Amino acid sequence: MSSGNFKQELFSQFARVGKALGNANRLELLEFLAQGERGVEALAQVSSLSVANTSQHLQHLKQAGLVIGRKQGQQVLYRLAGDDVIALLDSLRRVAEQRLADVDRLVAQYLREKDSLEPVPATELLERARNGTVTVLDVRPAEEFAAGHLPGAINIPLAELEAHLNHFQLNEQVVAYCRGPYCVLAYDAVSRLREYGFKARRLEDGYPEWQLAGLPVERGS
């Protein structure tokens, strides 16, 4: 094999990973899997894809080495192959948000209207949590919370927010987080809590980025 052929072959392999990331549906599936392992039907449901289509995309991701599946009875439970996949997704998102005007425009018109406050960096939240001067709110569904969450976080899905306002105190800050920096649920939670007079803000990242940074996490309900 010549040097030129070798390089072409090598870059073709690298391109396989790029191709796997070149589809919006697969990126969304990866974000769901970043919260914890899940079966095909569950993934189809949260991403509004057919089961067959979801399965095809998962095969593609698997061939690219980004996810791993394990059998559990009739189900195949998929999970991300490793933290390096989260790092790759994080890196791709940073480049896109930094350099694509359309990303900025989308975020401005859809999210920043809801919450234009500066998000709280992870390190600052960690500091405040240690001082016991903040309530950490996880607005993801219960099974994602169970798979892993920030220490001391309370889990209130958005639909039940008003039924659990007793968790919050008017003189204490609330920091809400979700699946990633652009998860609408966190924005909505902050928006509504602020309407009730609570000092609410968003965490800068989602749970996967927190975990990737090596920060402490808890599991279970």
Partner DNA sequence: ATTATATTCAATAAATCAATTGAATAATTT
Partner DNA sequence: AAATTATTCAATTGATTTATTGAATATAAT
Report if residue 163 touches a second copy, rule: CB under 8 A. Answer: no
The pairing of beta strand 75-80 with beta strand 67-72: antiparallel
178 is catalytic: yes
Four-CA torsion 108, 111, 116, 120, nearest 10 degrees: -120
Size of the site for a second copy (CB under 8 A): 54
Least distance from a second copy to the Cβ atom of residue 112, Å: 12
**Binding-site partner at residue 142 among a second copy, DNA, none, CB < 5 to 8 Å by type:** none
| Residue 1: partners with Cβ closer than 8 Å, 6 or more residues away | 9
Q: What SS3 state is found at 93? A: helix
Give the x/- contact pattern for DNA in 41-60, rule: CB under 7 A: x-------xxxxx-xxxxxx
Cβ(86)–Cβ(34) below 8 Å: yes
As given in the structure block, the two tokens for residue 190 are 């902050």
Q: What SS3 state is found at 145? A: helix
Q: Which stretch binds a second copy (CB under 8 A): 81-89, 116-124, 147-155, 202-210?
A: 81-89
Report if residue 213 touches a second copy, rule: CB under 8 A. Answer: no
Cβ(158)–Cβ(185) below 8 Å: yes
Catalytic: which of 80, 153, 178, 189?
178
Report if residue 61 touches a second copy, rule: CB under 8 A. Answer: no
| Residue 68 Cα distances to 91, 150, 152, 159, 219, angstroms | 21, 24, 30, 32, 21
Residue type, 148: G
Q: Which of 11, 108, 142, 218 binds a second copy (CB under 8 A)?
A: 11
Which residues in 68-107 contact DNA (CB under 7 A)? Answer: 69, 71, 73-76
Which spans of this chain sit near a second copy (rule: CB under 8 A)?
Answer: 1, 3-4, 6-28, 48, 64-66, 81-82, 84-85, 87-88, 91-96, 98-100, 102-103, 106-107, 109-111, 182, 184
Q: Which residues of the shown chain bind DNA in the complex (CB under 7 A)?
A: 19, 22-23, 25-26, 39-41, 49-53, 55-60, 69, 71, 73-76
Residues involved in catalysis = 178
